[in-house]
Every structure is written in structure tokens, then in C-alpha cells.
């Protein structure tokens, strides 16, 4: 049967996912034939796969509209999210290659799972219907469960993966239950259909229950309070490049789905979910920031910081205007860049076996490797929200959207929380620049002082990742208008 | 119609009683294998009820998936662990009262849902005149409108398989 034009167009609309799946399968199939000395090549194959997927976005952009009868929606919104997700995944793959060599984990399956996860997230970004989005969510989740456990010999990695798996499945069950209830209330699983049914019937009890259930499931995936308890353990135990992935792409994709469900499908009942988001934003910001104050492990501290950032994103989410949606999109782009950058520094400093994750290991880093310290400083300042960084512009737009929508108290709480955040970000910077390595006062001073620990020389691929992340962060901070314009157009296409 | 209705009721009560007996057997038997056999009985009886409701697709899925697939897995798992240990263990330990209270709450909940649920939740109207032959419809939906999710599910299974191998293989 020849391919008809409309089928061809549908295939073009899911081109990135197709490419990612093909490369994933190729990696698994090639794995046994590649000698263990040149497994690194598989990493480069995966990287090129993600680049091809990014390139295919141009094909996708030329075929806007619904695909497969509305199951997938191609618009500016999905393109924006595809850009963030695929970019993050490409950079994370690049950052993993060296790490896997050192940990002797260089395996094709690792890269294949990253690509499959990316395909799942791509489905999430474009889904126009609940069943499809559920499958995309599961695909990205299951891949990341396994990736979190990839350091099989490390007890912490196993523990974190098991926690992630059990709680994640639980959250998925909630999400599925929510889908069933929504279907029961509205008779459809399509977002536009749900919106139509709700605008006729008003908020029925069953539909609101369904939305609540879906909020539980999605809240787990985007790591907002009160569903954030698992995140620090998982982020700390997972291999650091996987943590970089977990903190960026899946969260971004889950936010895409959350935006579509809340704004498109449940747009007519906005007044009901507004307060849920409001309360969750406050809880998330406070839980993340105040717990981060107490951490001495830098990896764990950044895990708490990413919880806090989800809270700031919720401030823009609660604004319920087009500017608010655009602010969420912009914030997610800036957030993904700086988080990947920061975790890549941690990957590098952690060294073989991830032994150097404590704050004291960062003492004197500015003298040992000034460039790495400078990059880390940039990412931390961006996370803190200093002007001329992407993090600042993200917060700026988010707070502006909040003020425009008159949710002033929420913005005030968010601003206060940013000040709290300054303490723990600046502490790391001060440690890097002003504390002598192997501090005399530390409890493990005796161990460290004998042989002064030096981080390994920086691998070329790590450099590339850091430079991309640093330039991106600066670009978003200094020239935000182009990205923000695109974010505004994406937000407009959502409504 | 009357005679057919009466026969329907006879079949329903037969299958329902079989399912209840099976489930009671599952929780009361001390031998795990016996429990598993009782579970098969209960699942088959449920399949019978599905058939009687003219949901023949569900009937087939119930038998293929639960009775054949999952139960075989159960029995394999039981055979692999040490059975003699579980035989010696006390079946009902401390949770007796908690379980009792929870059971009562559950029954109350069912009663409430059956009594009030219709007016509270506004479920859709039941389809008049029974279900259409639904195996074909499920197939058409799966390979027609919902082709894409179906394919995504197949990739999902591949991911799960790769993951299982990565996790379980002795040496990677």
C-alpha cells in the first residue's frame, strides 16, 4: 500500500520520536558486536541520534496541526518543549560518556534507555489526549527508573532506584485513576473534548476528583510538595549524569503535560484548581529552600534546590495568563540549562566512584581548577537568580506574571524564599574561593591532609557540556527577548 | 424472555458463588499452592460473569492474561521460594482487628456507593439492549484510531524488557 499524503504528514509530525526509537533499538542491537574497548562509540552514536532528532524539528515545524486524529498536537508549544527536552538529552548524553568510562559502565543500554526516555518525553510534550500522554509518561518513567539503578554495585544507587520505582508506580496509578474518573465524567479522553464537556456541565464532583488524582500523579513527576519527599534520596543515589537528566528533561516534559491538562482540558474550571496550585507552590518553595539550608552534601543540596525551583515555576503557573504560561516555558528552559551545568560540575568533581560530593571537597577548588570553579559559580548564581543570568530572567518573568494576575502574596513568599536560597548557594561559592582545601577544623581532617586530593583533569566532552550550559545561561540572561517571544507565541498556541 | 432471564440469574448466582468461595479459599488456605488454585477458580468464575454480560473480549482477556499468564508466573514464583517456611508461619497475626475494621468500612463504602452513588456522580446512561459484539470493535479502535498509542505501548514493553535484562543479568 503506498503511503498517502496525510499518513506521511502524520509521520513527519512524530519524526523526533521515531528517530529516537530507531536509534535506541539500533544501540541495543549493536551492543553485543562492539568490543568493550570501543564502547565509547555507542555514546557518540546516541549523541548523533539526539542531534538528528533535534534537526528533525525543522520537519515537524513545517507540519503544524493535529496528528493521528488529535492524539498528538503539533504547535509552537510542543516545538518549544521538544527543543528543551531534546537539547537537554543531547547534552546529558555528552556529559555521560566520560563518566561511564570511569565507572566501567560503558553500555549501549544506558544510551538506548536515555533515548527511549526522550521519546517518551517527546510524546508527553505533544500529546493531545490522556491515554497517549499516559503511555508517554510511563515510557519516560520506566527508562529513568532503570537509569537511576545503573550503578548496580553501589548500594545507594539501588536504594534510590527502588524508592523511585515503588513511589513512581504509585504515582502513576493515581494518574491512571484520574484518567478513568475524568473519562467517566466527560465521556472523552481528548483535552479539547474534556474542555467542551466541562464548559457545558460545569465542574462535576467526579471530574474534580479526577483532576485531583492527576495532580497527585503529575505532582510526583514534576516534584512539587507534598509529593517531593522521594526526590533528594533519588537524586543523591542516582549516577550524577542521570541526576542531571532527572532534574531537567522529565520534569520539563511533565510540566508540559501539566500545562496542557490544566489549561486546555480543565481550563473551564480554573477557579477550582487555582488554590491547589497556590498552596502547593508555597509548600514546595519552603520545603525545598529550608531543607537545602541544612545539607552538607552538594549533590543533595542541589536536589533540594530543584524542588524549590519547581515552586517558583508554580508561581508563574498559578498566574493563569498567557504571560504566566510563557514565563513557565522560559523558566523551564533556563532551569534545564543551569541544572545540567551544575550537575555536570558535580559529575566531574565527584570523580571515580562519586567519592567527592561533600561541601568540604569543594574547598579551594578555585585554586585547583579555576575554570571549573568559575562555571560552577555561574550556575549557582543563576540558580540563585542574579541579574545577567537565565535564572534571573526566569524569576523576573515569573514574578511579573504573578504581579499582573494580582497574586501578590505568592510573589512575596517567592521573593523571600529566593533570599533564603542565597545562603546555601553562596556558601558553596565561598567554600570554593576562600576556604583552604582539607580544612583543619573538619572531622575528617586527618584523612584528607595526608595526600591532598586533586580533581582529575577535565575531559573534553565535559568542557563542551559546561560551555554550552554556561553560554546558554548567559544568553538567556542577557538576550532573553527572542526566547521569550517564542515562549509567548507557544503560550498563545496553547489556548 | 422470562425463562431466559431466570436462566441468566441461575448462571449469575452460580458464577458469583464460585468466585466468592474461591476468594475465601485464597485467604484461608495455609498451603500457598492451594491458595493459587483457589485464585484460578475465582478468576475463571469472574470470566464467566463477563461472558454473561456479553463482554466476550473481557472474558477472553481475563482467561488469557490472568488465568494463564499471571497465574503461571505466580506458581513459578511460589515454586522458587521456600514453601516450608511459609507453612509454619501464623496466617493471621496482629492485624486481625485492623483488618476487621477496614473490612466493615469497605462494606459500608460499597453500600453507600450502590445506594447513593448514582445520584452523586452522574454516571453515563447504560447502553440499551446489551453490548455490541465488542471484540471487533476493540480491534478496530486499537488498530484504527488508537494505532499510535498501541505502537507506543509496544516500545514501552521493549524498554521494560531491556530494563529487566540490565537489572537482572549477573554481569553487565
Confidence check: pLDDT of B57 > 90:
no
Q: Are B166 and A205 an interchain contact pair (Cβ–Cβ within 8 Å)?
A: no
The answer to the question of residue B108 being in a domain is no
Shortest Cα distance from B99 to chain A (angstroms)? 22
Could you tell me which chain A residue has the CA closest to the CA of B153? Answer: A135
A123 Cβ under 8 Å from any chain B Cβ = yes
What is the Cα–Cα distance from A217 to A287, expressed in whole angstroms?
Answer: 19
What is the Cα–Cα distance from A237 to A233, expressed in whole angstroms?
Answer: 6
CB-closest option in B120, B162, B172 to A28: B162
Could you tell me which chain B residue has the CA closest to the CA of A36? Answer: B172
B121 Cβ under 8 Å from any chain A Cβ = yes
CB-closest option in A28, A112, A123 to B152: A123
Rounded average pLDDT over A332-348: 95
What is the Cα–Cα distance from B8 to B55, expressed in whole angstroms?
Answer: 15
What is the Cα–Cα distance from B64 to B71, expressed in whole angstroms?
Answer: 10
Q: What is the pLDDT of residues A41-97, one digit of tens each?
A: 999 999 999 999 999 999 999 999 898 888 999 999 999 999 999 999 999 999 999
Q: What is the pLDDT of residues A359-398, one digit of tens each?
A: 888 988 888 899 999 999 999 999 999 999 999 999 999 9
Q: Taking a contact as any Cβ pair under 8 Å apart, which residues of chain A between 417 and 446 contact chain B?
A: none
CB-closest option in A131, A150, A204 to B122: A204
Grid coordinates 529550608 are at which residue?
A: A290
The answer to the question of residue B102 being in a domain is no
Instruction: Find out whether A21 and A119 touch, Cβ atoms under 8 Å.
Output: yes
- Provide the grid cell at B47: 470470566
Residues of A in contact with B148 (CB under 8 A): 14, 67-68, 71-72, 132
Shortest Cα distance from B14 to chain A (angstroms)? 30
Instruction: Find out whether A371 and A352 touch, Cβ atoms under 8 Å.
Output: no
The answer to the question of residue B26 being in a domain is yes
Residue A66's φ and ψ, nearest 5 degrees, are: -80, 145
Could you tell me which chain B residue has the CA closest to the CA of A137? Answer: B156
The answer to the question of residue B51 being in a domain is yes
Nearest Cα to Cα of residue A47 among A112, A122, A102? A112
- Provide the grid cell at A36: 568493550
Could you tell me which chain B residue has the CA closest to the CA of A187? Answer: B124
A81 Cβ under 8 Å from any chain B Cβ = no
Across B92-122, b (16+ Cβ under 10 Å) vs e yields: eeeeeeeeeeeeeeeeeeeeeeeeeeeeebe
The answer to the question of residue B144 being in a domain is no
Residue B91: band (very low, low, confident or very high) from pLDDT cuts 50, 70, 90: low
Q: Are B156 and A142 an interchain contact pair (Cβ–Cβ within 8 Å)?
A: yes
Residues of A in contact with B160 (CB under 8 A): 142
B138 Cβ under 8 Å from any chain A Cβ = no
Confidence check: pLDDT of A443 > 80:
no
Q: What is the pLDDT of residues B104-155, one digit of tens each?
A: 999 999 888 888 766 666 666 666 655 667 788 888 888 888 999 999 999 9
Confidence check: pLDDT of A145 > 90:
yes
A131 Cβ under 8 Å from any chain B Cβ = yes
Instruction: Find out whether A395 and A312 touch, Cβ atoms under 8 Å.
Output: yes
CB-closest option in B121, B156, B160 to A135: B156
Instruction: Find out whether A126 and A15 touch, Cβ atoms under 8 Å.
Output: no
Instruction: Find out whether A330 and A490 touch, Cβ atoms under 8 Å.
Output: no
B113 Cβ under 8 Å from any chain A Cβ = no
Could you tell me which chain B residue has the CA closest to the CA of A139? Answer: B156
CB-closest option in B148, B158, B159 to A132: B148
Q: Are B163 and A112 an interchain contact pair (Cβ–Cβ within 8 Å)?
A: no
Average pLDDT of chain A is 91
How many domains is chain A built from?
1
What is the Cα–Cα distance from A110 to B127, expressed in whole angstroms?
Answer: 49
Three-state SS annotation for chain A: CCCCHHHHHHHHHCHHHHHHHHHHHHHHHHHHHCCHHHCHHHHHHHHHHHHHHHHCHHHHHCCCEEECCCCEEECHHHHHHHHHHHHHHHHHHHHHHHHHHHCCCCCHHHHHHHHHHHHHHHHHHHECEHHHHHHHHHHHHHHHHHHHCCCCCCHHHHHHHHHHHHHHHHHHHHHHHHHHHHHHHHCCCEHHHHHHHHHHHCCCHHHHHHHHHHHHHHHHHHCCCCCCCCHHHHHHHCCHHHHHHHHCHHHHHHHHHHHHHHHHHCHHHHHHHHHHHHHHHHHHHHHHHHHHHCCCEHHHHHHHHHHHHHHHHHHHHHCCCHHHHHHHHHHHHHHHHHHHHHHHHHHHHHCHHHCCCEHHHHCCHHHHCHHHHHHHHHHHHHHHCCCCCHHHHHHHHHHHHHHHCCCHHHHHHHHHHHHHHHHHHHHHHHHHHHCCCCCCCCCCHHHHHHCCCCCCCCCHHHHHHHHHHHHHHHHHHHCCHHHHHHHHHHHHHHC
Rounded average pLDDT over A472-494: 93
B152 Cβ under 8 Å from any chain A Cβ = yes
B33 Cβ under 8 Å from any chain A Cβ = no
Q: What is the pLDDT of residues A260-308, one digit of tens each?
A: 999 999 988 988 999 999 999 999 999 999 999 999 999 999 999 999 9
Q: Are A68 and B148 an interchain contact pair (Cβ–Cβ within 8 Å)?
A: yes
Say what the ipTM of the complex is. 0.89
Could you tell me which chain B residue has the CA closest to the CA of A134? Answer: B149
How many residue pairs from chains A and B have C-beta atoms closer than 8 A?
Answer: 76
CB-closest option in A21, A185, A205 to B155: A21
Q: What is the pLDDT of residues A26-57, one digit of tens each?
A: 999 999 999 988 889 999 999 999 999 999 99
Shortest Cα distance from A393 to chain B (angstroms)? 37
B163 Cβ under 8 Å from any chain A Cβ = yes
Percent of chain B's residues with pLDDT above 90: 30
Q: What is the pLDDT of residues B70-86, one digit of tens each?
A: 888 888 887 777 666 65
- Provide the grid cell at B164: 529487566
How many domains is chain B built from?
1
Query: What is the domain extent for residue A179?
Result: 2-494
CB-closest option in A68, A120, A206 to B147: A68
Grid coordinates 441461575 are at which residue?
A: B10
DSSP B68-86: IIIHHHHHHHHHHS-HHHH
Q: What pLDDT sits at residue A448?
A: 46
Q: Are B152 and A135 an interchain contact pair (Cβ–Cβ within 8 Å)?
A: yes
Assign B172 to helix, strand or coil. coil
Q: Are A72 and B159 an interchain contact pair (Cβ–Cβ within 8 Å)?
A: no
- Provide the grid cell at A39: 564502547
Q: What is the pLDDT of residues B93-115, one digit of tens each?
A: 667 788 889 999 999 998 888 88
Shortest Cα distance from A194 to chain B (angstroms)? 15
Rounded average pLDDT over A16-28: 95
Percent of chain A's residues with pLDDT above 90: 75
Most B CBs within 10 A among A20, A139, A144, hence the mutation to make, goes to: A139
Amino acid at each position: 500500500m503506498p503511503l498517502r499524503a496525510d499518513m506521511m504528514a502524520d509521520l513527519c509530525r512524530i519524526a523526533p520520536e521515531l528517530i529516537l526509537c530507531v536509534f535506541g533499538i539500533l544501540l541495543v542491537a549493536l551492543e553485543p558486536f562492539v568490543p568493550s574497548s570501543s564502547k565509547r562509540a555507542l555514546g557518540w552514536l546516541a549523541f548523533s541520534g539526539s542531534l538528528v532528532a533535534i534537526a528533525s524539528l525543522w520537519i515537524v515545524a513545517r507540519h503544524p496541526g493535529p496528528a493521528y486524529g488529535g492524539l498528538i498536537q503539533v504547535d509552537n508549544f510542543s516545538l518549544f518543549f521538544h527543543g528543551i527536552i531534546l537539547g537537554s538529552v543531547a547534552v546529558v548524553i555528552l556529559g555521560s560518556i566520560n563518566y561511564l568510562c570511569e565507572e566501567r559502565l560503558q553500555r549501549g543500554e544506558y544510551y538506548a534507555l536515555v533515548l527511549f526516555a526522550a521519546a517518551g518525553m517527546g510524546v508527553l510534550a505533544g500529546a493531545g489526549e490522556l491515554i497517549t500522554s499516559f503511555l508517554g509518561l510511563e515510557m519516560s518513567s520506566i527508562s529513568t527508573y532503570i537509569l537511576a539503578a545503573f550503578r548496580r554495585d553501589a548500594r545507594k544507587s539501588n536504594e534510590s532506584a527502588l524508592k523511585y520505582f515503588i513511589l513512581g508506580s504509585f504515582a502513576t496509578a493515581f494518574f491512571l485513576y484520574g484518567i478513568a474518573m475524568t473519562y467517566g465524567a466527560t465521556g472523552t479522553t481528548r483535552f479539547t473534548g474534556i474542555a467542551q464537556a466541562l464548559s457545558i456541565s460545569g465542574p462535576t464532583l467526579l471530574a474534580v476528583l479526577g483532576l485531583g488524582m492527576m495532580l497527585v500523579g503529575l505532582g510526583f513527576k514534576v516534584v512539587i510538595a507534598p509529593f517531593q519527599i522521594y526526590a533528594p534520596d533519588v537524586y543523591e543515589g542516582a549516577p550524577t549524569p542521570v541526576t542531571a537528566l532527572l532534574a531537567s528533561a522529565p520534569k520539563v516534559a511533565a510540566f508540559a503535560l501539566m500545562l496542557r491538562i490544566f489549561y486546555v482540558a480543565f481550563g473551564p474550571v480554573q477557579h477550582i484548581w487555582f488554590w491547589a496550585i497556590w498552596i502547593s507552590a508555597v509548600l514546595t518553595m519552603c520545603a525545598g529552600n529550608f531543607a537545602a539550608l541544612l545539607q552538607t552534601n552538594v549533590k543533595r543540596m542541589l536536589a533540594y534546590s530543584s524542588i524549590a525551583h519547581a515552586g517558583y515555576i508554580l508561581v508563574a503557573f498559578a498566574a493563569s495568563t498567557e504571560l504566566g504560561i510563557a514565563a513557565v516555558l522560559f523558566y523551564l528552559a533556563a532551569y534545564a540549562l543551569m541544572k545540567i551545568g551544575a550537575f555536570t560540575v558535580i559529575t566531574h568533581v565527584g570523580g571515580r566512584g562519586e567519592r567527592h560530593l561533600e561541601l568540604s571537597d569543594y574547598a579551594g577548588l578555585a585554586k585547583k581548577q579555576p575554570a571549573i570553579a568559575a562555571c560552577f559559580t555561574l550556575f549557582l548564581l543563576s540558580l540563585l537568580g542574579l541579574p545577567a543570568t537565565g535564572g534571573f530572567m526566569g524569576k523576573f518573568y515569573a514574578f511579573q506574571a504573578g504581579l499582573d494576575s494580582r497574586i501578590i502574596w505568592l510573589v512575596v513568599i517567592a521573593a523571600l524564599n529566593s533570599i533564603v536560597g542565597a545562603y546555601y548557594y553562596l556558601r558553596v561559592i565561598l567554600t570554593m574561593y576562600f576556604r583552604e582545601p582539607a580544612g583543619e577544623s573538619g572531622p575528617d581532617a586527618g584523612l584528607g591532609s595526608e595526600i591532598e586530593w586533586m580533581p582529575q583533569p577535565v575531559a573534553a566532552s565535559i568542557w563542551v557540556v559546561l560551555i554550552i550550559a554556561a553560554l546558554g545561561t548567559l544568553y538567556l540572561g542577557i538576550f532573553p527577548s527572542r526566547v521569550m517571544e517564542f515562549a509567548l507565541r507557544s503560550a498563545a498556541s496553547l489556548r | 424472555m422470562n425463562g431466559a432471564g431466570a436462566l441468566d440469574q441461575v448462571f449469575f448466582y452460580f458464577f458469583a458463588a464460585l468466585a466468592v468461595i474461591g476468594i475465601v479459599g485464597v485467604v484461608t488456605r495455609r498451603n500457598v499452592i492451594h491458595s493459587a488454585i483457589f485464585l484460578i477458580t475465582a478468576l475463571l468464575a469472574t470470566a464467566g460473569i463477563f461472558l454473561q454480560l456479553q463482554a466476550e473480549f473481557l472474558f477472553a482477556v481475563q482467561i488469557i492474561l490472568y488465568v494463564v499468564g499471571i497465574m503461571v508466573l505466580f506458581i513459578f514464583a511460589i515454586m522458587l521460594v521456600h514453601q516450608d517456611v511459609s507453612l509454619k508461619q501464623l496466617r493471621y497475626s496482629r492485624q486481625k482487628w485492623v483488618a476487621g475494621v477496614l473490612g466493615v468500612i469497605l462494606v459500608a463504602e460499597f453500600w453507600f456507593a450502590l445506594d447513593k452513588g448514582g445520584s452523586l456522580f452522574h454516571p453515563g446512561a447504560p447502553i440499551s439492549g446489551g453490548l455490541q459484539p465488542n471484540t471487533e470493535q476493540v480491534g478496530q479502535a486499537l488498530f484504527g484510531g488508537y494505532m499510535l498509542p498501541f505502537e507506543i505501548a509496544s516500545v514501552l514493553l521493549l524498554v521494560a524488557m531491556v530494563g529487566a535484562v540490565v537489572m537482572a543479568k549477573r554481569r553487565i
